Structure 1
Amino acid sequence: LATSFPGVSEALLRLHGAYTREQQALAEQRAAGPGSEAGDPVREAQAFLASHRNYFHVLDQRAEDLAAEIDQNGGAEKWLGAKGVRVRFLPPDVLMDSLRRFDRHNQQLLIADTLDAASRAFQIATHIAHTAMRTEIKQTLREQTFSSRATAALLLRALAGYCAAAIRMPYARFARAAEQRRYDIDALCSLFGVSFEQVAHRLTTLQRPGEERVGFFFIRLDEAGNVSKRLDGAGFPFAAHGGGCPLWSVHQVFRQPGEIATQWLELPGGERFFSIARTVRGGSRGYGKSSVLRAVALACGAEEAGRLVYAGGVDPDHAPTTPIGVTCRLCHRTTCTARAVPPIGRDVLSDDYLRTAQPYTFAES
């Protein structure tokens, strides 16, 4: 069919793509519930980042130039000092539980002294992004009209964080190191003085035209399954809402905090991915201080997994995979015992004289 009638084949592919998008939209709507709003600023911000594949060329280049300038001046604190800004590290109670605050009157950047070295450096870089790169960030946001000020505010913060990461991990140097270290996240943490989550986040942005690296998607969630961050640089079809699949190891790493879990994944449509997951801890340090344990996961296409140290030289075509779904509403696997709800478009079958191991039995089509 593809050879004899290419036009028909292309039309069928477009039809299937449209069907998949509609199914996903319906799943998102049902997961969000009747009280959800169409103009959700978080979803709108996520869509904006996804439309750029989480890479912003102008911002990344400017951050790279700025990083070189900062290095020449002996580091971020000295660079700020030359601008008349003094950096001070103070107890959280003095900062009224803030992690970072800029005292404009005294030209002092105040940072919580309970943060670790990587977080301190990142907060300083974030301040530099908000001040030295504010024009470029706002120009990027002017490319699109948003439905609310909340969306613009969220994106301003997100892009400032993006720029801070680009300052701490300049594109060319970081991309080269990632390839040389075979994407060993802990090694990159030591090399750049950053955290596990910061490296994982930065790896999703390596999409500079002509200098692309492994395409990753990133997700962060808590023990209740609430997703607080999604970044897509690999085309992974995860739904904007929904708790994901419990068979994915990102939901299981809470049992072994700090340990890296690797997993080969296969979606119902046959797409295969390789996943790296680990817990990270956020919040203040110190006895009696509250902290939050979250899980982060990076995943890439199975065909690129051989470039990662974590794949251990396993042939992707013969790797044992875990069958997962994007979300139960979009997963049509009939034998899954972990299912929470039946899939969209399938009639649930009832049999008073039969109880299967699966929570639901549904029609084949």
Structure 2
Amino acid sequence: MTTSTTRSVFMGPRLRRLRRDLGLTQADMAADLEISAPYVALLERNQRPVTADMLLRLARTYKIDLTDLAGDGGVDHTARMQSILKEPMFSDIDIPSLEISDIATSFPGMTEAFLRLYTAYREEQLALADRRAPALAGLASPADTEGFDASDPVAEVRRFLAARRNNFADIDDAAERLSDAAGGPNGFVERLKNRHDLRVRHMPPDVMLGSVRRLDLHRRQLLLEDSLDTASLHFQLAQQLAYLEMDNEMSAALAAGHFTTKNAEQLARRALGGYAAAALIMPYSAFAKAVDARRYDLEALARQFGASFEQTAHRITTLQRPGQEKIPFFLIRVDPAGNISKLLDGAGFPFAKHGGACPLWSVHGVFRTPRQIVTQWLELPDGQRFFSIARTVTAGGGAYGAMRVERAIAIGCAAEHAGQLIYTQNGAGPSAEAPTPIGVACRVCHRPKCAARSALPIGRELLPDDFRRLSVPFGFSSD
């Protein structure tokens, strides 16, 4: 006697979408599949399972790929919903995981609507915080903040990234497939040649005229400055591949941003191009596995993947794929003057929206110890603690006489995650019992005994120094 096992799945919404995409009525589909119209209706309402035999019949009849038809069972939507429903605003609602999975699988349209609505809500909250910041800091009246940052493309892109936790799962998925097909960074040149008929040429700076990468479609060649180091070379190759082969994924992410200015959209596309390049060099699954094995050792990870320290630090901030989240990190990049040129917050660090950061933070002092990692425990006035890892990085300067730009970057996480990092193992680094007391910025920091203070806190009255001069720059009442 022959036995067989029939696997049943419920996929009513997907079946209904397929039928409508094909322009068929339920009666039409029933006739094609040699079943009854009421049975099609039951399948679409998830009142009957779609068996393996029915899946094969659908695939043969309509000449579609079986995996496309079956889909992922809502796995991605389920993971994204579970991640969002962990937010504090939903903490009082008991939603079993099975219910979330059922909703994502049975009602993909409603699930997508919920996800879009939540993302739009996050963007609006971040925009509102930006608009309120000057008034809350006493730098402007509420009326003055109307439309504040409305035309600031950098602020708009930062909100776009923050609302999505600096993670784009579709780009990660596409990058993993492309990286596998190319054979990793060492295969990028061959991929460009075989797939796009592009020859890679390395040219001196005087020929590149200020560019490090230029695509010459007329001559079918990709020109790269010949002074690029290996990490930068791989990054430029990866970014060009991303623009050529991952445009659909990047365009979809951009469309979801609804940018108000062309500059913001262009900056966001550049950010996504960089994201895709890093995802090609450091594919999500392999990199996430290595992060656990190396305990977030940035220098070891950089060597393993042939990336720079900054590229590796940036990639670590993106490991928030729903269902596969790692430690959430923030990243900041500053120059010796304190100007912030990159800011990614995935760890809830209260960065100042305007003005400089706290001078007691080691990110401003690592210029004295170039290329050395400096770790630091930080404590904010409200008691929040973070662990910071800072180091200098160099941009440019690939040849004698070329301009070099020195910057410092710091990444950090909330104190409760620091125990998972190699930098806190076996007594490494400073003690958690002696954190450095820092503020967000001098104007909103009310620590009275700070010799590094550069401004009087908002709302505090300066004490006269007629009879007593304090050792701190600004003496003010503590009540």
- The TM-score normalised by the length of structure 2 is 0.68
Query: Corresponding residue for 1:51?
Result: 163
Amino acid at match of 1:344: I
1:69 to 158, 181, 187: 181
Paired residues for 1:316-331 under 5 Å: 318-331=432-445
Change (3 A) 1:74 1:39: closer
Secondary structure of the residue aligned to 1:288 is coil
Indicate yes or no: 2:455 matched with 1:341: yes
CA distance in 2, matches of 1:243, 1:159: 27
Secondary structure of the residue aligned to 1:179 is helix
Change (3 A) 1:357 1:118: same
Indicate yes or no: 2:172 matched with 1:60: yes
Query: Corresponding residue for 1:26?
Result: 135
Paired residues for 1:213-228 under 5 Å: 213-228=326-341
CA distance in 2, matches of 1:222, 1:191: 28
- The TM-score normalised by the length of structure 1 is 0.89
Indicate yes or no: 2:253 matched with 1:144: no
Change (3 A) 1:285 1:355: same
Query: Corresponding residue for 2:213?
Result: 100
Secondary structure of the residue aligned to 1:312 is helix
Change (3 A) 1:74 1:202: closer
Amino acid at match of 1:26: A
Secondary structure of the residue aligned to 2:459 is coil
- Cα deviation for residue 92 of structure 1 reads 1.1
Amino acid at match of 1:307: Q
2:386 to 273, 277, 291: 273
1:81 to 175, 185, 193: 193
Query: Corresponding residue for 1:3?
Result: none
- Cα deviation for residue 212 of structure 1 reads 0.8
CA distance in 2, matches of 1:29, 1:128: 47
Larger displacement relative to structure 2 (333-342 or 149-158): 333-342
CA distance in 2, matches of 1:58, 1:21: 28
Amino acid at match of 2:350: P
CA distance in 2, matches of 1:22, 1:105: 47
Report sequence identity in percent: 50
CA distance in 1, matches of 2:203, 2:214: 10
Amino acid at match of 2:135: L
Q: Any stretches of 5+ residues in structure 2 without a counterpart?
A: 1-91, 93-128
Change (3 A) 1:111 1:74: closer
CA distance in 1, matches of 2:149, 2:302: 39
- Alpha carbons 2:397, 2:404 under 8 Å: kept: yes
- Alpha carbons 2:443, 2:457 under 8 Å: kept: yes
Residues 194-252 of structure 1 deviation map (CA, whole Å, 9 limit, x = unaligned): 00000000000000111111111001010000110001111111123221011000000
Paired residues for 1:75-224 under 5 Å: 75-83=187-195, 84-224=197-337
Residues 155-197 of structure 1 deviation map (CA, whole Å, 9 limit, x = unaligned): 0000100010001000010011011001111111111000000
Residues 40-68 of structure 1 deviation map (CA, whole Å, 9 limit, x = unaligned): 11111111111111011111111111111
- Alpha carbons 2:184, 2:280 under 8 Å: kept: no
Amino acid at match of 1:175: A
Change (3 A) 1:150 1:22: closer
Change (3 A) 1:74 1:189: closer
CA distance in 2, matches of 1:22, 1:114: 43
Q: Per residue, is there more helix in 1 or in 2?
A: 2
RMSD: 2.5
CA distance in 2, matches of 1:143, 1:318: 41
- Cα deviation for residue 28 of structure 1 reads 7.0
Q: Any stretches of 5+ residues in structure 1 without a counterpart?
A: 1-9, 11-19
Indicate yes or no: 2:477 matched with 1:363: yes
Larger displacement relative to structure 2 (175-184 or 311-320): 311-320
- Cα deviation for residue 25 of structure 1 reads 4.1
Change (3 A) 1:133 1:28: farther
Secondary structure of the residue aligned to 1:353 is coil
CA distance in 2, matches of 1:224, 1:314: 33
Secondary structure of the residue aligned to 1:75 is helix
- Alpha carbons 1:216, 1:232 under 8 Å: kept: yes
Equivalences, count: 346
- Alpha carbons 1:55, 1:208 under 8 Å: kept: yes
CA distance in 1, matches of 2:334, 2:408: 5
Change (3 A) 1:63 1:343: same
2:409 to 288, 296, 308: 296
CA distance in 1, matches of 2:448, 2:239: 48
Q: Which structure carries more relative contact order (alpha carbon 8 Å, separation 6+)?
A: 1
Indicate yes or no: 2:356 matched with 1:243: yes
Change (3 A) 1:138 1:22: closer
Indicate yes or no: 2:366 matched with 1:253: yes
